[in-house]
Amino acid sequence: MKAVVLVGGFGTRLRPLTFTRPKQMLPIVDRPMIERVVGVLGRHGVTDAVLSLGYRPDAFIDAYPDGRCAGVDLHYAVEPEPLDTAGAVGFAAASAGIDDTFIVVNGDVLTDLDVAELWDFHHSCGAEGTIALTPVDDPSRYGVVPIDDDGRVTAFVEKPAPGTAPTNWINAGTYVLEPSVLERIPKGRKVSIERETFPGMVADGTLFALHSDAYWVDAGTPNTYVEVQLDLIDGKRGTDEVAVDPTASIHPTAVVDHSVVMAGVRIGEHAIIRDSVVLPGARLDPRVLVDGSVIGAAARVGEGAVLSGMTVIGDGYEVRAAAHLDGARLPEAG
C-alpha cells in the first residue's frame, strides 16, 4: 500500500512553535510527530509514503536523508506554492507516479486506526473514495460526515457553525482513494479536498465512510499537542512512555507532575512543572511554576516566573524573571 501524507501546512494554530519548524517535526515525547504517523501506517501494511511538503520542506529532508522513516520508504513531493489539501494530493500522486488505489492521511493526526480494515471496506463497497470517521464532542472544528445505512456519505460539511452539525462523526483525516479521484482535482490552483473534491463525490454517490472507535487526536493545537503526549505517558495507547528523558537534569527539590520533560532540559530548585510539555534543551530557573503550558526547545524561563493557561513559549525565547503569563504566545512573530 502507498500513502500520501499531508505535511505541508503552516501550522498556524501551533505558533510560535511552528515559526521554527513544521508542525509534524515537533517532538511527541521522544520523537517527531511524523515518525509516529508514518510508523502506524507501516505497522498496518504501508510500504511507501509520499510526504506532501510545502512549508519548510528541508526539515524533513534533513531529518531522513536516506529516505527511510519508521521502517517506511519516503518519497518527497515539494509544492512550489501551497495547493491546499486536494491540490497537494494531486501534486504528490503525480510526482510519485501513483496509478492504483492509495491512502491519504493528514500528517498531524495521532491515531491507532486500522487502515487495512478501511482498505478492505473500501473495496467491498466498490467505492471511489472511503473516509475513516471518528466521534468527537465538538464537531465544529472538523469535517462533519453523515452516512446512510450502507456507509454511503450523504453530505460533507467542513467546519460547520457551532451547534449546526448533523452528526458528531467527523472526518478522521484518513482516506482510501481510487486514482480516478485525481482526475477530479484541477491542476495549477488551490483545491480543498474537504470543500470541493469530497462534496463532488457525494453528489455522484461514490464516497463512502467507516466509523472507527480507535484512539484518535488531531495534534494541531496547543491543547491537543499536550493531550496526545500526556495520553502516551498515561499509557492510553498501550505501554506507558517515559515522561522524563534520562538526560534531563532536575533539581531534587523541583516537582515534575504529569508532564513531559525532553532531552537535556534543566530544571532549578523548587520549580513546579504540572500538566505541561518542555521541549529539548529548555532551561527553567529556580521557583518557576509551569502549569498546563508548553516551553519550546532551548527556551529559558527566568526565576520565579509563573506560566499557566496554555502559555506557549517559542524555541530559544527568554521569559524574564518573575513574569506572570496566562495563555500567552511568545514571541508573537517569527
Q: Encode burial over 286-303: b for 16+ CB neighbours within 10 A, e otherwise.
A: bbbbbbbbbbbbbbbbbe
* Distances from the Cα of 251 to the Cα of 266, 269, 331, angstroms: 8, 5, 28
- Based on CB atoms, which residue is closest to ligand GDD, 155 or 298? 155
Decide: 207 and 198 in contact? Cβ < 8 Å: yes
Residue found under cell 517532538: 27
Between CA 266 and CA 281 the distance in angstroms is 7
DSSP-based three-state secondary structure for 109: strand
- Based on CB atoms, which residue is closest to ligand GDD, 145 or 260? 145
Grid coordinates representing 320 are 524574564
Decide: 153 and 130 in contact? Cβ < 8 Å: no
Residue 319 CB, nearest distance to ligand GDD (Å)?
A: 28
CB neighbours of residue 203 within 10 Å:
10
Residue 225 CB, nearest distance to Mg ion (Å)?
A: 11
Question: In the set 79, 158, 178, 218, which binds Mg ion (CB under 5 A)?
Answer: 218
Rg (CA), the chain: 21
Q: Candidates 78-86, 192-200, 216-224, 277-285 — which segment interacts with Mg ion by CB under 5 A?
A: 216-224
Residue 51 CB, nearest distance to ligand GDD (Å)?
A: 8
- Based on CB atoms, which residue is closest to Mg ion, 23 or 266? 23
Q: Binding of Mg ion at residue 35 (CB under 5 A)?
A: no
Q: Which does 84 bind (CB under 5 to 8 A by kind): ligand GDD, Mg ion, none?
A: ligand GDD
- Based on CB atoms, which residue is closest to Mg ion, 75 or 141? 141
For binding to ligand GDD (CB under 6 A), which residues are involved? Answer: 6-9, 23, 52, 54, 79, 82-85, 88, 106-109, 142-143, 158, 170-171, 173, 194, 218, 220
Q: Binding of Mg ion at residue 108 (CB under 5 A)?
A: yes
Which residues here bind Mg ion, judged by CB under 5 A? 108, 218, 220
